Amino acid sequence: MPLYTADALVLRTYKLRDADRIVVFLTADRGKKRGVAYGARKSRSRFSGALEPLTRVSVGYVEREARDLVSLNFADAVQSPMSALDPGALGHVGYFADLIDAWAAENDANEKLFRLGAALLAALAAGTPIDPLARYFEYWLLRLEGVYPVWVRCARCGTALESAGGALLREAMAFTCGACAPRAGSERVSAEAFRFLRAASGVAPDRMAVGEAPPPQAMRELERAHRAMIATFLDREPRSSRVLREMGA
């Protein structure tokens, strides 16, 4: 059987028997894979330190026909989220990996999603503040999947939202200005938050640390809006979202 080698991001692992692990990883060119890392739970495993969520690895694996799981031959860490300059950012690593896993398709190449995850990891290492980085990641994840609502103008009257601010209509998943938003069933989104989206549309994630920091209130508004979108399109709230919320509390 041929040995495939790939650049990959580890998304999650599960225990398997006494010494092994099942590893879910996203490759740059062949989509998401699930494989067995034999001996990964042993104290002197050759996989030591390389199977943590969001670690970028050089991986080698064997894939057999009619088998759902590949067999990992090696996984060498290229970049780890543990290199994040802000220790508080580490609480978000599982959240980021969880969302990539939720949108990545089995055996279906998605180079843009892989590049987003790799750029996110680089931004963590560069010390990009975690709140704008998380909002950036959510925005681009939803945008790459084609489900982020049009945010430049009100979906009802055409008012420019960057100057007027507005709201996300949860049922319609559309942005409107404040005048068109109903009192119930909407999440307020300020003009500052829409200006953040404008900035995020044109830079790499590590550039979000450059310039004036976005207002914390705008980040909270986008956090609520993005969580509503994610829960709607996944038809569930990711467990990692609940964990983050409890950590914040």
Domain ranges of the chain: 3-83, 128-248
CB atoms within 10 A of CB 203: 12
Three-state SS at 214: coil
**Distant-in-sequence, close-in-space partners of 180: CB < 8 Å, separation ≥ 6:** 154, 155, 156, 157, 159, 166
Residue 38 has pLDDT above 50, yes or no: yes
Per CATH, the homologous superfamily of domain 3-83 is Nucleic acid-binding proteins (2.40.50.140)
Confidence of residue 249 (pLDDT cuts 50, 70, 90): very low
CB atoms within 10 A of CB 209: 14
- The pLDDT tens digits for 147-195 are 999 999 999 999 999 999 999 999 999 999 999 999 888 999 999 999 9
Confidence of residue 207 (pLDDT cuts 50, 70, 90): confident
- Mean residue pLDDT across the chain: 92
pTM of full prediction above 0.85: yes
Task: Please report which residue ranges of the chain form alpha helices under DSSP H.
Answer: 93-103, 111-125, 130-144, 161-164, 191-200, 216-234, 239-248
